[in-house]
């Protein structure tokens, strides 16, 4: 049997892994904003100006770089002026996409910007193309970022905020092929150019505008959006008319009509989920190849601003609220995606897992009755990976036979790996996707002297292990002692269904 070896040249740093690929997403959907982030100032749940303190404290450990808001599909129904001014005078609206519930607009622009400041995250505002207007979007960015006495800056001051905010990221529409207007890409590409023109840079606020991009394998959408640019390969200026285009991809084991259960799944479904997560790498290759044809200098970023697992909702919950549990399987879906983002660091500028609290592949679940907070296995992956933020990607070359399993007619590699370096340290991420078997791997570490290592593991006895208020630490990272010195560097014994990080101190 050949030994499986991962060769890593520690002295050949590649492109920077933007911390923004660790972005998050908070939509007015179910209990993400209301109950998740926002409880209101009068709530018995401890809060700062209405925002839950425990949620903020837990998320600060993830060093969330950016937060996307207010949607999703909700963004193309959202009219920002409804969410400013005295809360008791704000108009109500129907959240027709998500549960058909009445939204009272208690959480609006000021509350979102306050949340970002509490989290230490920068805002990624998703503007309304589907049912909004160019003027509405133009006035929103003026309201947020203008310093002088312009009409919108004056209105912001009337509402209690003197200084402009910094808003680096701006979405031009969302899923324009679907809930964002059911548009044809040719029509949307023109609209995106038009809207982008009026999303202006006020008071030195540099903007990274993201045009609503493709779903899954829709390469035509990406191609037509790339044709919207004028002479991308000329000069050294920033990409125009927008700087990024998005891509959405969700992982499920069934069709949309029956996506699979979050917690009750077979071993086969474990592999199906991970194989479908691995599709992200293929999507980045394919959409990236289309972008390369128009943009060989990689000025336009690919922004995966919605990704993650999407399961059938938990029994007894509102089907429109997308509330699901989160198991060890979700954690490995996350590591598989994050490895793919690291490997494509030269093109992937940003990514946002959907969604931060109580919705889809959440970091945090809160109990509606008791308010108790639970950190999910996915949360722990994001915490274990903070060392990759803004580090330089390192290529991981696998030598030997990587075990595979045939899943839906395609071989799934049962090891996912990526690495990065800051110069003085390196972080190696290793996921053993095998449900039953351990995996021995030699890390052949070249080019730098390794002064020491520390490893952590995220695993559990069963594939469906998850955290609850009764067992909040059932799946949590632990110190890992399965790393031994080896003539070539280190030897790692990966437990079955596990995620291991090895941090290396470099001389
Ligand atoms: O994240 C949930 C929904 O998924 C978003 O609102 C939409 O953009 C996507 O279809």
- Average pLDDT along the chain: 96
Is the pLDDT reported for residue 2 higher than 60?
A: no
Average pLDDT, stretch 358-362?
Answer: 98
Cβ of 175 closer than 6 Å to ligand 1, yes or no, is yes
Cβ of 291 closer than 6 Å to ligand 1, yes or no, is no
Expressed in angstroms and rounded, the spacing between residue 66 Cα and the centre of ligand 1 is: 18
425-to-62, 136, 335, 451, 506 alpha-carbon distances in Å: 19, 47, 20, 9, 5
Is the pLDDT reported for residue 263 higher than 70?
A: yes
- Is-catalytic flag, 27? no
Four-point Cα dihedral 110, 111, 113, 117, nearest 10:
130
Of all protein residues, the one whose alpha carbon is nearest to atom 6 of ligand 1 is 72
Give the pLDDT of residue 203. Answer: 83
- DSSP letter string over 65-134? -EEEES-SGGGGG--GGGGSS-GGGPPPEEETTTTTEEE---S-HHHHHHHHHHHT-EEEEEE--SS--H
Of all protein residues, the one whose alpha carbon is nearest to atom 4 of ligand 1 is 72
CA distance 63 to 499: 20
Confidence tier at 231 by pLDDT (50, 70, 90): confident
Two tokens, residue 401? 């036979």
- On the CB side of 154, CA atoms within 13 Å amount to 3
Of the candidates 170, 298, 176, which has an alpha carbon nearest to the alpha carbon of residue 239? 298
β-bridge pairing 439-446 and 489-494: antiparallel
The SS3 of residue 434 is coil
| pLDDT tens for each residue of 16-69 | 999 999 999 999 999 999 999 999 999 999 999 999 999 999 999 999 999 999
Of all protein residues, the one whose alpha carbon is nearest to atom 7 of ligand 1 is 72
180 Cα nearest atom in ligand 1: 8
List of residues 6+ apart from 374 with CB closer than 8 A: 364, 365, 366, 367, 467, 468, 469, 472
Provide the 10 A C-beta neighbour count for residue 56.
17
All structural domains of the chain: 2-10+393-506 (2.60.40.1180), 16-389 (3.20.20.80)
Please state the separation of Cα 487 from the chain's center in Å: 38
β-bridge pairing 415-421 and 392-394: antiparallel
Give the pLDDT of residue 3. Answer: 77
Of the candidates 388, 500, 489, 503, which has an alpha carbon nearest to the alpha carbon of residue 454? 503
Give the pLDDT of residue 156. Answer: 98
Average pLDDT, stretch 449-470?
Answer: 97
Cβ of 306 closer than 6 Å to ligand 1, yes or no, is yes
Confidence tier at 246 by pLDDT (50, 70, 90): very high
CA angle 234/237/242 to nearest 5° reads: 100
Average pLDDT, stretch 458-487?
Answer: 97
Give the pLDDT of residue 479. Answer: 98
104-to-53, 72, 88, 440 alpha-carbon distances in Å: 22, 18, 9, 55
Stretch (H or E) spanning 365: strand 364-366
Of the candidates 337, 443, 456, which has an alpha carbon nearest to the alpha carbon of residue 394? 443
Is the pLDDT reported for residue 230 higher than 90?
A: no
- On the CB side of 398, CA atoms within 13 Å amount to 14
Is the pLDDT reported for residue 235 higher than 80?
A: no
Confidence tier at 457 by pLDDT (50, 70, 90): very high
Of the candidates 281, 332, 325, 324, which has an alpha carbon nearest to the alpha carbon of residue 304? 281
Cβ of 139 closer than 6 Å to ligand 1, yes or no, is no
Average pLDDT, stretch 171-183?
Answer: 98
Of all protein residues, the one whose alpha carbon is nearest to atom 2 of ligand 1 is 72
Question: Among residues 103, 175, 473, 503, which one is catalytic?
Answer: 175
Give the pLDDT of residue 90. Answer: 98
**407 burial level (CB within 10 Å; 0-12, 13-18, 19+):** middle
Cβ of 174 closer than 6 Å to ligand 1, yes or no, is yes
For residue 174, which phi and psi values (nearest 5 degrees)?
-150, 130
Please state the separation of Cα 403 from the chain's center in Å: 28
250 Cα nearest atom in ligand 1: 4
CB 340 within 8 A of CB 282: no
Cβ of 72 closer than 6 Å to ligand 1, yes or no, is yes
Give the pLDDT of residue 229. Answer: 86
Cβ of 30 closer than 6 Å to ligand 1, yes or no, is no
Long-range CB contacts (< 8 A, 24+ apart) of 286-293? 286/217, 286/219, 287/214, 287/219, 287/222, 287/247, 288/344, 288/347, 290/219, 290/222, 290/223, 290/226, 291/222, 291/226, 291/245, 291/347, 293/226
Expressed in angstroms and rounded, the spacing between residue 171 Cα and the centre of ligand 1 is: 14
| pLDDT tens for each residue of 301-338 | 999 999 999 999 999 999 999 999 999 999 999 999 99
Expressed in angstroms and rounded, the spacing between residue 97 Cα and the centre of ligand 1 is: 9
Expressed in angstroms and rounded, the spacing between residue 73 Cα and the centre of ligand 1 is: 6
Two tokens, residue 385? 């990976």
pTM for the full predicted model: 0.97
The SS3 of residue 280 is helix
CB 103 within 8 A of CB 159: no
**Which of 36, 96, 214, 306 for mutating ligand 1's site (highest number of atoms within 8 Å of CB)?**
306
Is the pLDDT reported for residue 283 higher than 80?
A: yes
Is the pLDDT reported for residue 499 higher than 70?
A: yes
Two tokens, residue 251? 């992982």
Expressed in angstroms and rounded, the spacing between residue 148 Cα and the centre of ligand 1 is: 36
**Which of 175, 250, 321, 362 for mutating ligand 1's site (highest number of atoms within 8 Å of CB)?**
175
CA distance 193 to 241: 6
Average pLDDT, stretch 414-435?
Answer: 98
Expressed in angstroms and rounded, the spacing between residue 312 Cα and the centre of ligand 1 is: 14
Expressed in angstroms and rounded, the spacing between residue 399 Cα and the centre of ligand 1 is: 39
**Which of 28, 73, 96 for mutating ligand 1's site (highest number of atoms within 8 Å of CB)?**
73
Question: Among residues 306, 383, 473, 503, which one is catalytic?
Answer: 306
Helix pair 109-119, 53-60: axis angle to 10 deg = 50
CA distance 401 to 194: 52
Is the pLDDT reported for residue 212 higher than 70?
A: yes
360 Cα nearest atom in ligand 1: 1
CA distance 207 to 300: 13
CA distance 468 to 175: 33
CA distance 164 to 173: 23
Average pLDDT, stretch 87-107?
Answer: 97
Of all protein residues, the one whose alpha carbon is nearest to atom 9 of ligand 1 is 72
CA distance 127 to 169: 10
**Which of 25, 77, 173, 248 for mutating ligand 1's site (highest number of atoms within 8 Å of CB)?**
248
Q: What percent of the chain has pLDDT over 90?
A: 96
| pLDDT tens for each residue of 376-405 | 999 999 999 999 999 999 999 999 999 999
143 versus 236: the higher-pLDDT residue is 143
Average pLDDT, stretch 398-416?
Answer: 96
Of all protein residues, the one whose alpha carbon is nearest to atom 3 of ligand 1 is 72
Give the pLDDT of residue 240. Answer: 84
Expressed in angstroms and rounded, the spacing between residue 284 Cα and the centre of ligand 1 is: 20
Expressed in angstroms and rounded, the spacing between residue 149 Cα and the centre of ligand 1 is: 37
413: β partners: 404
Expressed in angstroms and rounded, the spacing between residue 72 Cα and the centre of ligand 1 is: 5
CB 493 within 8 A of CB 482: yes
Confidence tier at 233 by pLDDT (50, 70, 90): low
175 Cα nearest atom in ligand 1: 8
State the ipTM, two decimals: 0.99
Whether residue 72 is preceded by a cis peptide bond, meaning omega within 30 degrees of 0, is yes
- Is-catalytic flag, 314? no
Give the pLDDT of residue 236. Answer: 64
């Amino acid at each position: 049997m050949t030994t499986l070896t991962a060769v890593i040249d520690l002295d050949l740093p590649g492109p920077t892994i933007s911390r923004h690929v660790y972005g998050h997403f908070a939509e007015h959907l179910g209990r993400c904003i209301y109950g998740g982030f926002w409880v209101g100032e009068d709530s018995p749940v401890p809060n700062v100006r209405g925002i839950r303190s425990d949620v903020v404290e837990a998320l600060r450990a993830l060093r969330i770089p950016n937060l996307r808001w207010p949607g999703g599909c909700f963004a193309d129904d959202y009219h920002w002026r409804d969410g400013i001014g005295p809360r008791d005078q704000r108009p109500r609206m129907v959240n027709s996409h998500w549960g058909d519930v009445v939204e009272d607009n208690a959480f609006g622009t000021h509350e979102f910007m306050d949340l970002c400041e509490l989290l230490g995250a920068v805002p990624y505002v998703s503007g309304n193309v589907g049912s909004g207007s160019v003027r509405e979007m133009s006035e929103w960015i003026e309201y947020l970022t203008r310093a002088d006495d312009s009409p919108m800056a004056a209105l912001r001051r009337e509402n209690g905020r003197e200084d402009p905010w910094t808003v680096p990221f701006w979405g031009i529409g969302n899923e324009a092929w679907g809930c964002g207007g059911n548009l044809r890409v040719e029509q949307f590409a023109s609209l995106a150019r038009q809207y982008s023109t009026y999303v202006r840079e006020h008071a030195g606020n540099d903007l990274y505008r993201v045009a609503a991009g493709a779903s899954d394998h829709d390469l035509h959408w990406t191609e037509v959006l790339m044709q919207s640019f004028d002479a991308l390969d000329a000069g050294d200026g920033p990409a125009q008319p927008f700087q990024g285009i998005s891509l959405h991809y969700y992982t499920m084991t069934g069709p949309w009509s029956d996506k699979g259960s979050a917690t009750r799944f077979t071993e086969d479904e474990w592999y199906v989920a991970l194989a479908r997560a691995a599709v992200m790498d293929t999507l980045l290759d394919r959409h990236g190849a289309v972008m390369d044809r128009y943009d060989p200098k990689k000025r336009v970023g690919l922004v995966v601003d919605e990704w993650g697992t999407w399961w059938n909702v938990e029994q007894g919950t509102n089907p429109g609220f997308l509330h699901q549990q989160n198991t060890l399987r979700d954690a490995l879906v996350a590591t598989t995606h994050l490895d793919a983002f690291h490997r494509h660091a030269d093109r992937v500028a940003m990514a946002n897992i959907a969604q931060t609290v109580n919705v889809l592949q959440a970091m945090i679940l809160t109990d509606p009755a008791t308010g108790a907070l639970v950190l999910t296995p996915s949360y722990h992956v994001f915490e274990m990976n903070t060392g990759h933020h803004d580090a330089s990607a390192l290529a991981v070359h696998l030598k030997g036979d990587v075990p595979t399993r045939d899943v839906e007619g395609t071989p799934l590699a049962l090891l996912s790996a990526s690495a990065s370096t800051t110069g003085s340290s390196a972080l190696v991420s290793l996921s053993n996707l095998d449900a039953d078997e351990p995996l021995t791997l030699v890390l052949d570490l070249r080019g730098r002297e390794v002064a020491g290592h520390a490893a952590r593991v995220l695993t559990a006895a069963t594939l469906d292990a998850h955290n609850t208020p009764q067992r909040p630490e059932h799946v949590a990272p632990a110190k890992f002692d399965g790393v031994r010195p080896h003539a070539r560097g280190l030897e790692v014994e990966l437990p079955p269904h596990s995620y291991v990080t090895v941090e290396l101190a470099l001389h």
